[in-house]
Amino acid sequence: MSNNLVRGLCLAAVLFAHSLAHAALKLDAPIPVGPQVKVGKLANGLTYYIQRNARPERKLELRLVVKAGSILEDEDQRGLAHFVEHMAFNGSTHFRKHELVSYLQSIGVGFGADLNAYTSFDETVYILPIPTDKPEHVTKAFQVLEDWAHGVQFAPDAIDKERGIVLEELRLGKGAADRMGKQIYPRLFNGSKYAERLPIGREEVLRSFRPDTLRRFYRDWYRPDLMAVVVVGDIDPARAEKLITTHFTRLKNPARPRPREYAAIPPRQDTEALVVTDPEANGNSVLIRYPVQPVREPGTIGAYRDELVQALFGAMLNQRLAELVQLPEAPFLGASSSLGKLTPRYHSYNASAALGPRGAAPAIAALVQENERARRHGFGAAELERAKKNMMRNYEQAWNERAKSDSATYAAEYIRNFLQQEAIPGIDTEYRYVQELVPGITLDEMNAYARRTIPADSGKLVLYTGVDKPEPPTGAQLLAAVAEAERAQVAPHDEKAVAALLMEKPPAPGAIVSQREDKALGLTHLLLSNGVKVILKPTDFRNDQVMLSAARFGGQSLYGDGDILNARFANAIVASMGVPNFSPLDMRKILAGKAAGVTVGLGSYTDVVAGASGASDVETMLQLLWLKFSGVRRDEDLFRSYVGKQAEIARNQSAQPGRRFGDALVSALFNDHPRAPRSLQADEYAKIDLDRSIDIFRQRFSSARDLTFIVVGSFDPAAIKPLLATYLGSLPTPELPVAYRDVGLRPVTGVVKREVRSGTEPKSTVSLNFTGPAEFSEAEQLRLSALIEVANLRIIDVLREQMAMIYGGGASGALSKIPYGNYSISINLPTGPEHVDKVLAATFAEIRRLQEKGPDAADLAKVKSNWIQNHRRSLRENGYWVANLQSALTEGTDPASILEVEKQVQALSTHDVQAAARRYFDTNNYVQVVLNPEKPATEAAEAAATPKG
């Protein structure tokens, strides 16, 4: 057979296969459920999803999903959908109050971090990750799900105890956003019931509802025809299906079920403006919301293609808005414009912007005119090509990681399928769809979509939110700004050509001069010809991820107090201007279709480098790194833009209680030391000097001397070594200081107590900070960490569950050896003003208990179990290895200790934790700062009760 005939037959086969693929993609065809998941339904209507997945190993993700949220509450149940969720952890058919959480903690499941739940408008979802080391854990976990579904007990005393916790959660949400939201939501939802059914509910209902009212919600809506069970992880699917059948077949629907209806959002016909301000608002913004429309029913290949078109459109339009942010006199700090979902069943076209110092009018003009520019003139071929490249690379990464995706990611996908009918064809099918559909999306089609999607003449809501100073615009002024912008003539978008590559040619390469292996850790140590060192760890944890890190001593510590602003912001300022020859926008265009990024900068005591890329984009990552060391692109316009934005953000946040509290805490802790990590006032940004910041950056990053680059991930060592020799081996390495300077920053000693009064809501926060010198070691770090975790268990058990005085909060801390051996522990507890003294007393009582009696053995066992579970999972994460190898270099510890963590954790004793409590909770040396509202609670209550007008 001739070669020509062979080639002809091969070509015919390829074309035939290609035509079959195209033939399979009929746009009106339904998207099938993928083979990776089994979807079934019991006779009682309960839906289930089962998928076997190996990542993470020995772990199972379980979900109970209920199509019942706050939108279904009766008037006397406002907030009770969420309250039911709380009660699911407070006693059920097979678990007494506290028994469930305690049991799950004992097998390594952390409350809040792992075990959790949430309530939204239309659904409630319970999240239960379970280790599969022992079969009985899995069996018991399905019993938990069943109890949540129909066995919650609702004991009156448990309900009354939980009221305080839920009211503390409600208190936590109070503030400017909540106050403004109550005015905004009725307009955003066009008078829909959604505006009246926020999940947290109404305080008066939460305080006074009767237990039967709560039970009524549970009886009405927790029923199998509104439920799904999701099972993803390390389990035999047949066993999972049997467990589902065993535990959920017995659930029954009510004889006369209430109809499950979805609230409608009426269409908007008119145009109106709304101005909502608050002195504690977090910045100023504008939103233009165009008419709300029902979402097209998903499920067909055509609908999937429409979503791809919508995503490309949003990417191109928002790229144009990002370009405006880079202007010297930018119209806004940031902006977006797209078709977005308001609820799962309704969407609307929105344009929004965070406002800069120029205010609302320029932002409105830019938003409206950019929308109109796209509607009238469309997009360019280069814009569409870049958007397609980025989209294809994102799907390629997802496909490459198809066997390494976490079970929780799949579980979330199946939840969306149940609630929103999102298609679940599986990544193999989805990637094929994208490969077939995206190339066929034409520029003419995109421009027709823009004309069809961007509203021209329609009713709209123009919303301004922000602080009340300086004088905000009026509603009439907002409408006038929109009308004027709509009348303006707009020219086509000016698309400037950019280079196709970051580097025309690679630099003259260095060489690898020595190499040694560490077989125990799977490391290869390289020495390059310029003195730069590299540690390689190829892994199979991910298929399309490479991570890079490097650090050396120096950083901001080498610069005097008068230079601290220039040193602190050198990183961000240089990054805001791009790299030599390319602005940030140029780089975004050049990097279309690439997954690579690099940051470099000055930490307090170190110079740091961090990078990440996909497996096929390692060279791009190394080129970016090389360019960072090659010089700085000086751009005064971008510098002024960056500094102006930061100053505006600081100005807008200056009245926030949290900002004032944080500043007061830093001031008290470090006695107003000039190097303390405080936030800046708006006028301080004017003191940053562009050229001095560049000079500082170049002093530290014109040399790679004493840097050891750690590279971990999915790479072939033989293929990456020439790239390392070329880009890292050619970095300049002139002499420079590579030791940090102790700048004398120390916490105060003794007991310091301060009160901060800020905010109008009855909210307080208690902060306790214990600090002091300490000898650093990995063993001691472990003991301190165990102390903190045990303290957190006690804080939740006592202050939340027993006393109901907090919703969240807890302790954190660490040991450090830089610039001197020291420790810090911070305890932060949001509560009410009336609870502050009791919270403080209870916290110190728990500290004394740990010091005098040590922790309960059961509590320490829970901490150890959770740590071991997390460590086993982390050993299969590239980021975990990068962090541990980097800290070993910085702190001079043995990197092999990562393999001994389980043994070290198991060796921890209650005596170790008790000794740590005595050592680190020094009640003669701490800083206490309490945030209270501006007026005492009694005065605030009297003021609220005073008739107005």
Sheet holding 285-294, edge to edge: 272-277, 461-466, 285-294, 346-354, 334-343
| pLDDT value of residue 939 | 52
| pLDDT value of residue 625 | 98
C-beta separation of 765 from 930 below 8 A: yes
| pLDDT value of residue 496 | 86
Block means of pLDDT (10 residues each) for the chain, 949 residues, are: 39 38 74 97 98 95 98 98 97 92 92 91 97 95 97 96 97 96 94 95 97 98 98 97 98 96 90 95 95 86 95 97 90 94 91 94 97 96 97 97 95 97 95 97 97 90 90 95 95 90 95 97 98 98 98 98 96 96 94 97 97 98 98 95 93 91 96 93 96 98 98 98 98 97 97 97 97 96 98 97 96 96 98 98 98 97 96 96 97 95 97 98 98 72 34
Cis peptide before 819 (omega within 30 of 0): yes
C-beta separation of 262 from 71 below 8 A: yes
| pLDDT value of residue 326 | 87
108: left (phi over 0), alpha (psi -120 to 50) or beta: left
Q: What CA–CA distance (Å, rounded) separates 228 from 125?
A: 10
CATH for 38-248 (3.20.20.190, 2.30.33.40, 3.40.50.150, 3.30.830.10): 3.30.830.10
- CATH topology agreement for domains 38-248 and 272-487: yes
Sheet holding 533-538, edge to edge: 512-518, 523-528, 533-538, 708-713, 546-553, 606-613, 596-602
Q: What CA–CA distance (Å, rounded) separates 561 from 744?
A: 11
Which architecture characterizes domain 272-487 according to CATH? 2-Layer Sandwich (3.30)
At residue 130, φ and ψ (nearest 5 deg) are -130, 135
At the topology level of CATH, where does 751-939 sit?
Cytochrome Bc1 Complex; Chain A, domain 1 (3.30.830)
Closest to 791 measured CA to CA, from 687, 863, 718, 705: 863
Closest to 164 measured CA to CA, from 198, 203, 201, 196: 203
CATH for 512-727 (3.30.830.10, 3.10.20.740, 3.20.20.70, 1.20.1440.230): 3.30.830.10
In the chain, domain spans? 38-248, 272-487, 512-727, 751-939
Angle 646-364-282 from CA coordinates, rounded to 5°: 40
Residue 748, Cβ density class (10 Å: 0-12 exposed, 13-18 middle, ≥19 buried)? middle
User: From residue 363, how far is each of 3, 314, 482 by CA, in Å?
Assistant: 65, 18, 10
User: From residue 98, how far is each of 103, 141, 166, 788, 800 by CA, in Å?
Assistant: 9, 16, 16, 21, 12
Q: Which two tokens stand for residue 825?
A: 């522990």
